[in-house]
A and B are shown apart, each in its own frame.
Chain A
Amino acid sequence: MKNFLAFVAVLVLGFLIITSLNNNEAFPNYGEADISERVSQAYIDRSATENPGDITFGETTDLESGPANIVTAIVADYRSFDTLGEVTVLFISSLGVALLLGGVNRKRIDLDFHPNFMLRVGSRALFGIILMTGVYVAIHGHLTPGGGFPGGAMIASSMLLLYLADDEFRVKIKGFKMLESVAGSLYVLIGLTGLLLISGGFFLENFLDNGVIGNLFSAGIVPIVYVLIGLKVGSEISGIIDNFLTEEAV
């Protein structure tokens, strides 16, 4: 009876969602939306302040926003202030975990599970590959899919692999805390530089040369900021993992 009621509730909710989304002017069918009138078209064409004409990969210089990856152009350039808020949310959550679970005298939780030889060797072999992929994704965030957030999460998951490989292992948590606060402060300082350096500038303005679109050294402060975000996210999630997998020593 309970299962049947749950099934009916799911059907009714699904019917309500489908009927309200169908024939709704705000939600056109998949692939049929006319985005030429919307603000997202200006972000794709990089024409929010000026009209650059046709953009050629590897040739066009000094656009209003340099990253070749459109998502990065929005996340770390047009809407960088929102990203600062997002990073703050992650910082507050890691602070809450550290307040609840953190402490001075802690050791690893003694689980019934002990890594065997294959797991130990395999995890250590994969650790380097995953760490390098994370660093690559964070550094090339303005050119290829990915960026600071997934790159930082990859760095943290490589740390998690080390925890899996050795039941005595712990990261140097003080160094990670230091790295996290330095990266977060540098992000705000770079934003303040944009505000103060240029007359009539604004917070997080791109004060460096945008360069040729598609080059590794292009897009001004965007790669710098994204690498900082990657370091900050990686160290924060590593700290959360360490807090989850340790307990107070008796």
Chain B
Amino acid sequence: MLVNILEIVVSVLMLVLAFFAINSKSLIKSVMFLSSLSMLAVVGFVLMKAPDVAVTEAVIGSGLVTTLFVFTLLSARKVGN
């Protein structure tokens, strides 16, 4: 029962974060929302008993991709200036 409520909370939070990631005005905030969406997806995968997918999502989704996005934004800002 507790796990069910947790699953629903996690999925609703993921939807909200996805909405913020699309609609926020500054790009760096979008990247941060996308990163926290990946973090919540990790929680969802653990709840659904898929630890292998959770490990991969934690490393790639919220680690590598976020850092690459941030570096891309930094170099785009440099070209803009």
User: Which residues does chain A contribute within 8 Å of B67, judged by CB atoms?
Assistant: 157, 160, 164
| Given A109-B75, A164-B67, A154 contacting B59 (CB threshold 8 A) | yes
- Determine if B81 and A112 form an interchain contact, defined as CB atoms under 8 angstroms apart: yes
Given contacts A237-B64, A244-B71, contact A137 B55 (CB under 8 A): yes
- Once A145-B55, A146-B52, A157-B59 are accepted as A-B contacts, the answer to whether A110 and B68 lie under 8 Å apart by CB is no
What is the CA–CA distance of A111 and B81 in the complex, to the nearest angstrom?
11
What number of A residues sit within 8 Å (CB to CB) of B?
A: 23
A110 — which chain B residues lie within 8 A by C-beta? 78
B80 to chain A, nearest CB (A): 10
Closest to B56 in A: A150
B42 vs chain A, min Cβ distance (A) = 12
Which residues of A have CB within 8 Å of B75? 109, 111
Residue A239 at the chain B interface, CB threshold 8 Å: no
A193 → chain B closest CB, angstroms = 27
**B16 at interface (Cβ–Cβ under 8 A)?**
no
The B interface, classified by DSSP as helix, strand, loop or mixed, is: helix
- Whether A156 lies near B64 (C-beta < 8 A) is yes
Q: Which A residues touch B56, using CB under 8 A? A: 149-150, 153
Pick the residue among A113, A150, A164 that contacts B59 (CB under 8 A). A150
Residues of chain B within 8 A of A149, CB atoms compared: 56
Interface residue from B52, B59, B71, B72 paired with A145 (Cβ < 8 Å): B52
Query: Which residues on B sit within 8 Å (CB–CB) of A113?
Result: 74
Which residues of B have CB within 8 Å of A95?
Answer: none
Q: Does A66 contact B (CB under 8 A)?
A: no
B54 within 8 A of A: yes
B51: chain A residues within 8 A (beta carbon): 145-146
CB nearest neighbor in A for B22: A6
Q: Are A244 and B68 in contact (CB under 8 A)?
A: yes
Q: Which of B3-59 contact A (CB under 8 A)?
A: 51-52, 54-56, 59
Does A147 have its Cβ within 8 Å of any Cβ on chain B? Answer: yes
Do A112 and B60 have beta carbons less than 8 Å apart?
Answer: no
B residues near A (Cβ < 8 Å) are: 51-52, 54-56, 59-60, 63-64, 67-68, 71-72, 74-75, 77-78, 81
Chain A interface (Cβ < 8 Å from any Cβ of B): 69, 71, 109-113, 137, 145-147, 149-150, 153-154, 156-157, 160, 164, 237, 241, 244-245
